Amino acid sequence: MKSKYVLILICSFLIFSCEIPENTFKPGEVWLDNNGVHINAHGGGILFFNDTYYWFGEHKTEGEAGNKANVGVHCYSSKDLYNWKDEGVALSVSNDSSSLIVKGCIVERPKVIYNTKNKQFVMWFHHELKGKGYDAAMTGVALSDKITGPYNYVKSMNPNKSQWPLNYPDSLKSLSPNLDGFKRWSEEWNKEMINGAILKRDFERGQMARDMTLFVDDDGKAYHIHSSEENTTLHIAELTDDYLDFTGKYTRVLINKSNEAPAIFKKGEKYFMITSGLSGWKPNAARSAVADHPLGPWKELGNPCRGTEEEVTKTFYSQSTFVLPVQGKQDTYIFMADRWTPENAIDGRYIWLPIEFENNKPIIKWQDEWKM
């Protein structure tokens, strides 16, 4: 009888707890939606539209197999950023084996932007073909007339086929790429990579596009930022007016510096970017950079994290995915990151921390709990 009474008390407490709105961020803890379920929007980004925030991210499933796209892209909505309503699956993978986004492919880091001219919502994501590992290095695009979807898959591609970067010297265009016999990261190898060995290798088929994000500037011009050239160099590419394709105008950024997980934002007249190094699912030290234009040139600013050596060198055990400007709060930005758990993908946690500025550089410090 006593155990039954205790069980009733516990259940009552859990129900009561779920009804209490959140009013703080608790990085790394399980973050429940309106149904009491851990939010499933990994590697995500946020679009603010009609006084509401919409969070899009990878829908993970249990186990290591959950890192593949078994469901699609999930969407949540919020008025205050603390409490999130489940809006369902915005983009579903297909059961049709002839589709490029068939169940079991890879769909990562989805981002959604709104096209004011066409009144349409455009989603881009890193796309890898089923059973091909990370060899395809494509980017996919989907479209919807409704922000929560459903989004209709349009196409996937390797960007900027047969197009040279705006900042690529004419003197290098006629030289043949040559990495044969050079040890990776040797002086000779680095020189060839800086000179565009992979860029030229992929010139005819289109460039590689892995970890990616989107940025819409104040003039409505949209940019697609992605890891390219075997993840050694970032490409920042201008999108067409309908946001559904590339104009062919792009630049090589932080050349041969090995950056991924880009997140870009604007403060005043400056553009800032936070990225990570390359270590797979394992965390590493974050990087930051600044520019006067999205296409660059970009100047490195160093690691934005502050804390213990372990926290700084591992970005609080997380990896960047997006920087969110908070509406109605001037110069207020949230660093959004994922704490990956590849052995059980669905248990990935979210690390949201405020971005401060010191000497015109973005700074991120750990907080167990905080509020705007």
For residue 6, being part of any structural domain is answered with: no
For residue 12, being part of any structural domain is answered with: no
Domain count within the chain:
1
pLDDT surpasses 60 at 12? no
Give alpha helix (H) positions in the chain: 2-19, 170-173, 187-194, 197-201, 309-313
180: pLDDT confidence band, cut at 50, 70 and 90?
confident
pLDDT digits (tens, 9 = 90+) for 188-233: 999 999 999 999 999 999 999 999 999 999 999 999 999 999 999 9
For residue 215, being part of any structural domain is answered with: yes
Mean pLDDT of the chain: 94
Mapped onto helix, strand or coil, the DSSP state of residue 188 is helix
Residue type, 141: V
Token output for 225: 């930022």
Which residues constitute the domain of residue 145? 24-365
What is the rounded radius of gyration, in angstroms, for the C-alpha atoms of the chain? 21
For residue 1, being part of any structural domain is answered with: no
C-alpha angle with apex 193: 137 to 168, nearest 5 degrees? Answer: 90
- Burial (CB count <10 Å: 0-12, 13-18, 19+), residue 56: buried
For residue 3, being part of any structural domain is answered with: no
pLDDT reported for residue 190: 94
Q: How far apart are the C-alpha atoms of 136 and 100, rounded to whole Å?
A: 11
For residue 320, being part of any structural domain is answered with: yes
CB atoms closer than 10 angstroms to residue 175: 12
16: pLDDT confidence band, cut at 50, 70 and 90?
very low
Taking Cα atoms as reference points, which of 69, 71, 43, 37 lies closest to residue 56? 43
Beta bridge partners of 272: 265, 290
Mapped onto helix, strand or coil, the DSSP state of residue 315 is helix
Strands, E assignment, 19-71: 42-49, 52-59
pLDDT surpasses 80 at 124? yes
CB atoms closer than 10 angstroms to residue 103: 17
Q: Are 127 and 100 in contact (CB under 8 A)?
A: yes
Q: Are 56 and 112 in contact (CB under 8 A)?
A: yes
CA distances for 319 relative to 198, 272, 283, 293, 372, angstroms: 26, 16, 6, 24, 22
Q: How far apart are the C-alpha atoms of 59 and 37, rounded to whole Å?
A: 13
pLDDT digits (tens, 9 = 90+) for 279-292: 999 999 999 999 99
For residue 370, being part of any structural domain is answered with: no
Taking Cα atoms as reference points, which of 41, 61, 72 lies closest to residue 344? 61
Q: Residue 180: give its domain's CATH number.
A: 2.115.10.20
Taking Cα atoms as reference points, which of 200, 303, 207 lies closest to residue 250? 207
Strand 361-365 and strand 305-306: pairing? parallel
High-pLDDT (> 90) share of the chain, %: 91
pLDDT reported for residue 39: 98
